[in-house]
Amino acid sequence: MTVQELAQAFTQLLKDGKFDEAGRAFWSDDIVSMEPMAGDMAVLKGRATVEGKGAWWYANHEIHSVKVEGPYVHGQQFVVRFSMDVTPKGGARMAMDEVGLYTVKGDRIVEERFFFGSGG
Amino acid sequence: MTVQELAQAFTQLLKDGKFDEAGRAFWSDDIVSMEPMAGDMAVLKGRATVEGKGAWWYANHEIHSVKVEGPYVHGQQFVVRFSMDVTPKGGARMAMDEVGLYTVKGDRIVEERFFFGSGG
């Protein structure tokens, strides 16, 4: 599978709203997930831990809509853009605009690194 | 200057159509520019060489419109998305959708890496 093919298949699952399935199918067991923030969730390692973050996120955010664009491919990496309309538990409804930079090795995603936008 | 501030200032120049000025203001003299393709222009090093690529590109493409979105920041890196409506010299008018991943070191952009989208 080429990086382009993996990126297309992974992104199609995201576009179909199958976020859990995308991770199960393409994350390495040693996946590293990096958020642009300080604190406990800045860098998480390993499939179980990263799946835990996903479960926490879905439990604590009501998702009204998600628009997924991409993938954008270069060598062993690709980028996906997410535009979300969400309400954090106990918070105000907000627009989130971010991109994920994914690194591929041996038909698996070994790193995901998220970048936050400020609109635009 | 924080990476967020540099990214905002650089991206604002791009949004204003000041592509040359953005490079002059923020590229390192040792800037490395990487395109997702094989061939002579895949990896270019140094300000003069990368400026040459820009000059070649502008001379060989008629730009009808450019939409610039971002920046999206994580640590020392940021992402900018470009949606362009262009006509390559002697070719057919086309939509280009790509993102640039920029790496910052010491108040300068030391690497730019472009990712091509396939629509989306």
Mutation target to probe the A interface, by most A beta carbons within 10 A, among B74, B80, B97 is: B74
- Across the interface, do B101 and A101 touch by the CB < 8 Å criterion? yes
* Predicted ipTM of the assembly: 0.78
d(CA B27, CA A54): 37
Residues B91, B96, A7, B79: is their CA dihedral positive or negative?
A: positive
Query: What residues of B are in the A interface, CB distance below 8 Å?
Result: 8, 11, 15, 34, 36, 68-75, 77-79, 81, 97-99, 101, 113-118, 120
- Check whether B120 has a pLDDT greater than 60: no
Query: Which among A109, A93, A90, A112 is positioned nearest to A35, based on CA atoms?
Result: A112
pLDDT tens digits for B68-115? 999 999 999 999 999 999 999 999 999 999 999 999 999 999 999 999
Number of structural domains found in chain B: 1
- Across the interface, do B115 and A36 touch by the CB < 8 Å criterion? no
For residue B55, the Cα-to-chain-centroid distance in whole angstroms is 13
Mutation target to probe the B interface, by most B beta carbons within 10 A, among A41, A66, A74, A102 is: A74
- Which helix or strand (DSSP H or E) is residue A73 part of? strand A61-74
pLDDT tens digits for B35-58? 887 777 689 999 999 988 888 888
Domain that holds residue A71: 3-116
Torsion of CA A58, A62, A64, A68, to 10 degrees: -20
**CATH number, residue B28:** 3.10.450.50
- Before B88, cis peptide (omega within 30)? no
pLDDT tens digits for A2-47? 999 999 999 999 999 999 899 999 999 999 999 887 777 689 999 9
- Across the interface, do B73 and A116 touch by the CB < 8 Å criterion? yes
User: Left if phi > 0, otherwise alpha if psi is -120 to 50, otherwise beta: which for B119?
Assistant: left
- Residues 6+ positions from A14 with CB-CB distance below 8 Å: A22, A68, A80, A82
Say which range, A53-57, A101-105, B108-112, has the weakest mean pLDDT: A53-57
pLDDT tens digits for A66-102? 999 999 999 999 999 999 999 999 999 999 999 999 9
Structure tokens at B80: 């900018």
- Residues 6+ positions from B108 with CB-CB distance below 8 Å: B26, B27, B28, B31
